[in-house]
Structure formats: C-alpha cells, structure tokens
Amino acid sequence: MADILFKWDDSFLIGIEELDHEHKVLIDDINRLHEELVRHDKKSDIEKSLGDIYARMQAHFALEEHVMKEHKYKHFDEHKREHDELLDSYTEYMTQFLSDTGISSCSPIEDNLKHWVINHIVTSDKKMSQMIQKKGLKTKLRKRI
Ligand SMILES: [Fe+2]
Ligand SMILES: [Fe+2]
C-alpha cells in the first residue's frame, strides 16, 4: 500500500455512531484517492473516485443537516454554510483537476479534504454532536453507506 494520507484517529470521533461511521468511510475513500494519485492511476479511475467522494460528502452533509433540523440546532445556518463552502471549493478543485492534462494538481484537492477532516469534523461536527446529545438524540439514524 502506498503512503496513507489520513490515519484514522479516535480524536475524530464525535459520539454519534452513524455519523462517525460515515466519517470513517469518507476518510477511507480519501486515502484510496490519494493512493491512486500517488500511483498515477488512469485519469478515468481518479475521476470516478473524485465523483464518489463528492457524492459521499453530499449524502453525509444531507444527513447531518436532517439531524440538526430535527433537533432545532441553533447553529444550523453556520454549519450548513460550512458544508456548502466545502462542496463548492471541492467542486472548483475537481473541475480544475479534470481540465488539466496531468495529475500533478492533486495537492489542492487533498489539502481541501484534509482541511475538512481536521477543521470541520473536530470542531463543527463535534460541537453539533455535543449540543444535540445534551438534548437527547431523537433521530432514528440508519446507516446509509
Ligand atoms: Fe460530518
Ligand atoms: Fe458537518
């Protein structure tokens, strides 16, 4: 296996099982993409991985937003804005990358994803989880991945 971009760390856990599971799966996907980039895999394979990660993020954000709404989370707007910005910047990098002839422009995508994991999960998602769990988690979550 090529070098790993993200090593899962339990400090990423936010305490809501289904969301933690989705974060883990997403980090696995990001690591797989990283391996493909390091190996200089076919552009079509990388394109597929980029698209899968986008779809995964979109579904994950939709689930979190559903949970936040159900709990009338007071920082919903701020949190949703972060999700939207993350998807927008990811889309921008993905478009740039795909319009490029080489695969050397991978690092902005990886930096963007890393930023998401480090900053968003451990700050915004954790804050959301703590406040929601204080009230009692009432959403029946099911594993979507
Ligand atoms: Fe999340
Ligand atoms: Fe989030």
| Nearest ligand by distance to the CA of 80 | 2
Of 141, 130, 137, 140, nearest in space to 13 by CA: 130
60 alpha carbon to ligand 1 midpoint, in Å? 6
- Domain containing 55 — which CATH number? 1.20.120.50
Q: Identify whether 8 is part of a domain.
A: no
How far is residue 41's CA from residue 138's CA, in Å, rounded to a whole number?
A: 44
How far is residue 137's CA from residue 9's CA, in Å, rounded to a whole number?
A: 24
Strands (DSSP E) along the chain, which ranges?
none
Task: Identify the residue whose tokens are 């696995």.
Answer: 28
How far is residue 90's CA from residue 113's CA, in Å, rounded to a whole number?
A: 8
Question: Can you give the residue range of the structural domain that contains 56?
Answer: 16-135
101 alpha carbon to ligand 1 midpoint, in Å? 32
How far is residue 129's CA from residue 16's CA, in Å, rounded to a whole number?
A: 7
Q: Identify whether 113 is part of a domain.
A: yes
Q: What is the pLDDT of residues 1-17, one digit of tens each?
A: 456 677 888 999 999 99
Q: What is the pLDDT of residues 98-143, one digit of tens each?
A: 886 555 556 677 777 777 777 899 999 999 999 998 888 776 665 4
128 alpha carbon to ligand 1 midpoint, in Å? 10
89 alpha carbon to ligand 1 midpoint, in Å? 16
Number of domains, the chain: 1
Per-residue pLDDT for 47 more than 80?
yes
Task: Identify the residue whose tokens are 């991945």.
Answer: 145
81 alpha carbon to ligand 2 midpoint, in Å? 10
* Per-residue model confidence (pLDDT) at position 145: 38
Tokens of 53: 């990660």
How far is residue 92's CA from residue 108's CA, in Å, rounded to a whole number?
A: 10
* Per-residue model confidence (pLDDT) at position 144: 42
How far is residue 75's CA from residue 124's CA, in Å, rounded to a whole number?
A: 9
Q: Identify whether 52 is part of a domain.
A: yes
